[in-house]
């Protein structure tokens, strides 16, 4: 299928709206779609649908909505809950990208005869002569780059993905384009929270949507000495200092958990640093396998800086050896590997 028909995921925000405009100007036959994922979420509500539909009408392209609430619960919300049950800190955007935007949306695109899909992410796809394959790369918008949350998309899909915002350096440029084209969403604020937890209170969400309940237990140090009482393991995350309710001679941080004993383990700041980390749930985009140790840059959180390391694959795991110890590496988060601006792949921190 060699055509310029493209399905664009639209959230009703300025990024996806300007993406629609740019794609049409580039000669694509653009169809906009909004995924109904969770009732009442920041990206799936009546205003979202209206804004997206109005933009499409103004630009002169088709728009439709699809209800994927059951699939979203299965792939994103249930995973979110399961992570907290197992003392992990999830990043639900990564699951949503894998299963929803670059999974179900791609299936829908093929169903309606589209050869490409697009989103308003700040990232880039291109063919690399050096590697002889299509690659996922960082965008030019350094602070807004979103390649970190895209490492888990299927590699065979990369050549079918277009990111219209890849070459812009700032959000202000996008808003300016929206204003110049009289898009009503030009000054619509960004959504920063987890979309299905719009008030930011993930603890309340867990209690309302699962069997997770506050269960007191001991706060202990690495020697097992009891220093205090916690209100439920899911209320804490690796690296947390505030809200521990402990008086001690030096500052203490959460350094781990003992699920069987229902314990939160705390320690001094130097105990937060690690040289070596294992990841599983691997998805490699640049290579089929990493047989020999290679040097890469690694990001262990969306907001963290890259750190140099060597990685090597063994079965279902990749072992990361950092050149310098890294602070507060958190199980459940993703470690994403880069060579220059190219995404090598990633995995979930164990």
Residues labelled catalytic: 96, 195
Residue 173, Cα to own-chain centre: how many angstroms? 23
Query: In the numeric block, which tokens belong to residue 187?
Result: 């000054």
Alpha helix stretches (DSSP H) within 147-282? 171-180, 202-209
What phi, psi does 76 have (nearest 5°)? -110, -55
Strands (E), 237-341: 253-258, 263-267, 273-284, 294-299, 307-314, 317-327, 334-339
β-strands 226-230, 253-258 pairing: unpaired
Residue labelled with tokens 């179900």:
104
Which residues does 247 contact at the CB level (< 8 Å), separation at least 6? Answer: none
Residue labelled with tokens 């392209």:
61
Q: Judging by beta carbons within 10 Å of its beta carbon (0-12, 13-18, 19+), is residue 209 exposed, middle or buried? A: middle
């Amino acid at each position: 299928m060699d055509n310029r028909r493209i399905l664009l995921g639209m959230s009703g925000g300025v990024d996806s709206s300007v993406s629609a405009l740019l794609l049409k100007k580039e000669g694509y036959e653009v169809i906009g779609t909004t995924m109904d994922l969770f009732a009442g979420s920041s990206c799936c509500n009546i205003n979202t649908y209206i804004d997206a539909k109005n933009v499409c009408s103004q630009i002169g392209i088709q728009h439709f909505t699809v209800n994927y609430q059951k699939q979203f619960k299965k792939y994103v919300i249930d995973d979110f809950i399961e992570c907290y049950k197992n003392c992990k800190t999830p990043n639900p955007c990564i699951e949503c990208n894998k299963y929803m935007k670059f999974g179900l949306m791609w299936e829908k695109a093929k169903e309606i005869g589209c050869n490409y899909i697009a989103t308003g992410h700040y990232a880039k796809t291109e063919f690399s002569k050096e590697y002889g394959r299509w690659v996922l790369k960082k965008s030019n918008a350094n602070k807004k780059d979103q390649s970190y949350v895209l490492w888990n998309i299927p590699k065979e899909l990369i050549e079918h993905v277009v990111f219209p915002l890849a070459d812009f350096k700032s959000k202000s440029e996008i808003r300016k384009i929206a204003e110049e084209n009289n898009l009503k969403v030009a000054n619509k604020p960004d959504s920063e929270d987890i979309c299905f937890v719009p008030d930011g209170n993930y603890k309340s969400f867990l209690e309302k949507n699962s069997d997770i309940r506050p269960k007191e237990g001991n706060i202990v140090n690495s020697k097992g000495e009891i220093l205090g009482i916690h209100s439920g393991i899911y209320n804490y995350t690796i690296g947390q200092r505030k809200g521990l309710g402990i008086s001690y001679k030096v500052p203490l941080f959460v350094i781990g958990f003992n699920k069987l004993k229902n314990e939160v383990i705390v320690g001094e700041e130097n105990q937060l640093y690690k040289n070596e980390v294992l990841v599983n749930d691997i998805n490699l985009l640049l290579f089929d396998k990493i047989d020999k140790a290679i040097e890469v840059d690694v990001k262990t959180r969306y907001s963290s800086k890259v750190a140099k390391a060597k990685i090597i694959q063994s079965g279902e795991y990749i072992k990361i050896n950092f050149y310098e110890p890294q602070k507060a590496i958190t199980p459940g988060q993703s470690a994403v590997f880069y060579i220059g601006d190219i995404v090598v792949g990633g995995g979930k921190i164990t």
